[in-house]
Amino acid sequence: MVITRSMTVKKGIYAINGFDSLNRPVILISGNNITVDFNNAMLQGSNDKQLPNAFYGLAVLIKGNNITLKNAKITGFKVAVMAEGCTNLVIENSDLSYNYRQKLQSNWLREDVSDWMSYHHNEKDEWLRYGAGIYLKDCSKSVIRNNTITGGQCALMMMRSNDGMITENDFSFNSAIGIGMYRSSRNNILHNKLDFNVRGYSHGFYHRGQDSAGILVFEQCNDNVFAWNSVTHGGDGFFLWAGQTTMDSGEGGCNNNYVYKNDFSYAPTNGVEITFSKNKIIENIINGCDHGIWGGYSWQTSITGNTFENNRIGIAIEHGQHNNISSNQFENNKLSAIKLWARKTQPADWGYANKRDTRSMNYDFWNNSFKNESIAFDLTLTDDIILDENKYETVKTTIKKDSSVTNLAIDPENISDTTTVIPGILNTWKLNRIPATTFKKGRDQMKITEWGPYNYRYPFLFLKKIDSNGVYHFDVLGPKGKFKIKRSKDLRNISMSEGPLPAEITAQKNGVDVQINLEYIGEAFTGQFGKDHPANMVYDFGFRDFQPEIYWHVNWYKWDSAHNPNKNYEQFQTVYNNNPVKTEQTKKIDYTWWGAIGKNMPADSFAIVATGTVEVEKGNYIVSVTADDLVKIFIDGKPVIDFWDVSKYKYDEDTHHEATIPLNGKHTIRIEQVENSGYATLIFKLIPHNNR
């Protein structure tokens, strides 16, 4: 459908599948001075698919000037709305929720590298592989206001889009990014809810974030204003990186961005990450993160008037220069309030270090307050530091330093106030407060499912952990109502069978196919994939953990250039005739190496052959593997997964492979994996298809 004039859509549900290519939309809005009012009609795509990682197609493409899209509901697409080359675009009062998102492979105990995001390049719209609620490309003076995007992967993504007003939106509970920017400048991001845009977190087990963030600012984004946003519980709250251009040339950065009075609390990694750039971080709340601020290689940066409480480290900066850190409040940060350091040498092949002075030097710290801190200042290999009028209360160590710290001045007579000019928009914007939220504080509120962060709005059985005695610990969560256990398998000593939500259940494992099925009756809710469920109607939900007994025999082999697996597989296979450098018997294939596979053993150029036998009931099963770099899987001698072309390995998500096959009875599984260099992993799972 092509729309070239203003119109109002007849209200209804329009189930229309998208096309295989994002170059062909279901609806094209093209021209100038057009208003399209969806009138709360719903456009629903991917009607032949059940799960969001299979969603495809582009719903709406907008090209032209002075175009308004409003009151739209769009779900089930890879990208809901894309705008190209628009000036004065307005998208408002629309709900673009429950579109594409990846299925996550990490679980409660360990993360999976295939879940890591990669944003390093977007010159050819590489970000589109992650989908989006809204994708702006080469747009100027856009107004994006009062929209909702939840239950997706990325909400609003901006590519070379400048001078926009992004206000009063709710882009929360997505599995990667709330607002992402690439080469986008002079935008105002004001009074938005950008909470729980997160993955890669398991409370008490790991806190990686996997490059998810409430706000992502990547590659030459300058002069933007971020104010009065709620950006809690994100992988990072605010993630700014200068970009590959700066890494190679030493020039540019993401500079002169003004980050003012936001809440960046409860990030698994960094409340604020600002690197290789100069920016203003003013009067923000940054509590309960790993690092409050990570500011590696920041220069001419002001960090003023912020609150840092209960972080592991308040502010951590390596190789920073000419930075002013003043009037901040630090309290109960676990290791230290402020940590500065540098390396003695930089990599010889790194363009940035070859073209820039990267010493750690020239810091002004004045009028900061420290309370209940183990260490206020932890300093290494840094020159020219001024500490003036800082206040200390119940601080064990005020200054920790060694002989590599030079020219440290404490309370000198002359110091200048480097207060910066406030951007004009902050003096005129009326909603000068952080929007209110109703969810609880704390990192323990982040409960990551295989589809992203749980939003507490639908019945869900969340596995917190399996203890050393094989006892499963569950939270039964959801809206106001009651649950009842209908059936269970391979569990005993279940602590309770029914009750109100929320609740906690424990149960003892008693077999290899743990299952527990529950029913819920209570308030109306919207489900995990966006379906509405009425009140007082029975809703079934549950949990399954299938861990079949497979006794693996694993051999490791070294290979050399004469047997390069990337060139000739048949010739490479002859290395299996050699004696293995390591042999192991194990009950599961779950390996990750950051270096050598063992003492005096290779870290690179090795191969694995793992063989095992499994017996299963008749049914369809998903063969799932995450492997770096190459992998083949055979069942009963027949290939089911063949990823043996290193040129196809571009991103971390390319390490994961699946195949669905029918199985019945006893089967032999053979895994062949090759590691070229660097990080290595091999994780295998066999999952009943109806587990999904």
Mean pLDDT of 236-254: 95
> Nearest Cα to 179, choosing from 165, 440, 43, 111?
165
Q: Which residues does 578 contact at the CB level (< 8 Å), separation at least 6?
A: 557, 558
With 80 as the cut, is the pLDDT of residue 324 above it? yes
> Nearest Cα to 313, choosing from 277, 339, 295?
339
Tell me which residue has tokens 């820039």: 356
Mean pLDDT of 441-447: 97
> Which of 527, 545, 563 represents a domain boundary (last residue)?
545
Please, which residues bridge with residue 36 across strands?
7, 69
> Nearest Cα to 676, choosing from 599, 567, 554?
567
CB 512 within 8 A of CB 616: no
| Beta strands, E only, 319-470 | 321-326, 329-331, 336-341, 360-366, 369-371, 375-379, 382-388, 391-393, 397-400, 406-410, 448-449, 452-453, 460-466
- Dist CA 493 CA 495 (whole Å): 6
Is 183 part of any domain?
yes
How many other β-carbons are positioned within 10 Å of the β-carbon of residue 414? Answer: 6
Q: What is the CATH number of the domain that holds 183?
A: 2.160.20
Mean pLDDT of 424-434: 92
Q: How confident is the model at residue 416 (pLDDT cuts 50, 70, 90)?
A: low
- Dist CA 250 CA 547 (whole Å): 50
- Dist CA 663 CA 360 (whole Å): 60
Q: Are residues 527 and 557 part of one domain?
A: no
Q: How many domains does the chain have?
A: 3
Is 472 part of any domain?
yes
CB 303 within 8 A of CB 367: no
Written as six digits, the tokens of 304 are 């003023």
| Cβ burial, residue 69 (10 Å; 0-12/13-18/19+) | buried
> Nearest Cα to 460, choosing from 478, 472, 443, 448?
478
Please, which residues bridge with residue 626 across strands?
656, 683
- Dist CA 370 CA 309 (whole Å): 10
Chain-centroid distance of CA 308 in Å reads 23
Is 583 part of any domain?
yes
Q: Look at residue 349 in the predicted model and tell me its pLDDT.
A: 85
Chain-wide mean pLDDT for the chain?
96
With 90 as the cut, is the pLDDT of residue 274 above it? yes
Q: Look at residue 348 in the predicted model and tell me its pLDDT.
A: 84
User: pLDDT exceeding 90 applies to what percent of the chain?
Assistant: 96
Q: Look at residue 20 in the predicted model and tell me its pLDDT.
A: 94
- Dist CA 56 CA 100 (whole Å): 7
Is 533 part of any domain?
yes
Mean pLDDT of 299-321: 98
Q: How confident is the model at residue 199 (pLDDT cuts 50, 70, 90)?
A: very high
Mean pLDDT of 149-153: 98
Counts of helices then strands in the chain (DSSP H, E)? 4, 58
Is 401 part of any domain?
yes
- Dist CA 176 CA 173 (whole Å): 9
> Nearest Cα to 443, choosing from 560, 312, 345?
312
Q: Are residues 507 and 562 part of one domain?
A: no
Written as six digits, the tokens of 172 are 């929360």
- Dist CA 671 CA 631 (whole Å): 7
> Which of 545, 560, 594 represents a domain boundary (last residue)?
545
Tell me the backbone φ, ψ of residue 450, rounded to 5 degrees: -70, -5
Q: Look at residue 690 in the predicted model and tell me its pLDDT.
A: 78
Q: Are residues 320 and 259 part of one domain?
A: yes
- Dist CA 271 CA 294 (whole Å): 8
Q: Are residues 501 and 603 part of one domain?
A: no
Please write the tens of the pLDDT for every residue from 557-600: 999 999 999 999 999 999 999 999 999 999 999 999 999 999 99
Tell me the backbone φ, ψ of residue 98, rounded to 5 degrees: 60, 50
- Dist CA 562 CA 575 (whole Å): 10
Domain that holds residue 604: 552-691
Q: Are residues 248 and 375 part of one domain?
A: yes
Please write the tens of the pLDDT for every residue from 652-690: 999 999 999 999 999 999 999 999 999 999 999 999 997
- Dist CA 489 CA 512 (whole Å): 9
Q: Are residues 585 and 513 part of one domain?
A: no
Q: How confident is the model at residue 422 (pLDDT cuts 50, 70, 90)?
A: confident
DSSP 8-state secondary structure symbol assigned to residue 414: -
Q: Are residues 298 and 401 part of one domain?
A: yes
Please write the tens of the pLDDT for every residue from 85-131: 999 999 999 999 999 999 999 999 999 999 999 999 999 999 999 99
Is 1 part of any domain?
no
Rg (CA), the chain: 27
Q: What is the CATH number of the domain that holds 476?
A: 2.60.40
Is 83 part of any domain?
no
Q: In the Cβ-directed half-sphere of 471, how many Cα atoms lie within 13 Å?
A: 11
Convert 431-484 into a string of H (helix), E (strand) and C (coil): CCCCCCCCCCCCHHHCCEECCEECCCCCCEEEEEEECCCCEEEEEEECCCEEEE
Written as six digits, the tokens of 27 are 């609806």
Q: Are residues 558 and 539 part of one domain?
A: no
Three-point CA angle 680, 683, 689, nearest 5°: 150
Q: Are residues 378 and 315 part of one domain?
A: yes
Q: What is the CATH number of the domain that holds 561?
A: 2.60.120.260
Q: Look at residue 421 in the predicted model and tell me its pLDDT.
A: 78
Q: Look at residue 692 in the predicted model and tell me its pLDDT.
A: 45
| Beta strands, E only, 160-198 | 165-167, 177-182, 188-190
Q: Are residues 540 and 591 part of one domain?
A: no
Mean pLDDT of 475-496: 97
Chain-centroid distance of CA 575 in Å reads 39
Is 103 part of any domain?
no
Q: Are residues 637 and 586 part of one domain?
A: yes
Mean pLDDT of 469-478: 97
> Nearest Cα to 544, choosing from 587, 509, 497, 494?
509
- Dist CA 591 CA 129 (whole Å): 27
Q: Are residues 560 and 534 part of one domain?
A: no
Please write the tens of the pLDDT for every residue from 20-38: 999 999 999 999 999 999 9
Please, which residues bridge with residue 672 across strands?
609, 632
- Dist CA 178 CA 37 (whole Å): 25
How many other β-carbons are positioned within 10 Å of the β-carbon of residue 116? Answer: 19
Q: Look at residue 370 in the predicted model and tell me its pLDDT.
A: 98
- Dist CA 379 CA 264 (whole Å): 25
